[in-house]
Amino acid sequence: MAAPVRKLDIAVGDLVEIDGRRYEVVPDRTGGVTLESPITPMAEIDAEQGTRPASAEDFERLTAGMPSDGEG
C-alpha cells in the first residue's frame, strides 16, 4: 500500500527534519531539489560533544613530520 503524497512548501536553503534528522534543501543537477545533510559548524559540534579546537601549538605537535602539500 502506497503512502499518500504530501505537498510541501519548501525552498532551496530550507532546513527540514525527518525522523529526528535534519536535512538542507539544495538544488539538484536537473533543476529540481534534493535533500542533503547540512554542514554543521565545528563550534556547534564542539558544544554538543564538550570538546574544543586544538590550539596552534597542539596542531603543530600532532602533525609534526606528516607530509604536506604546501598549501597551508
CA distance 19 to 2: 19
State residue 43 phi and psi, 5-degree precision. -60, -35
pLDDT tens-digit profile of 3-22? 899 898 999 999 999 998 88
pLDDT tens-digit profile of 43-71? 888 999 999 988 999 999 998 988 888 77
Residue 54 and residue 38 in contact, taking contact as beta carbons nearer than 8 Å: no
Residue 30 and residue 18 in contact, taking contact as beta carbons nearer than 8 Å: no
Q: In this structure, which amino acid lies at residue 52? A: R
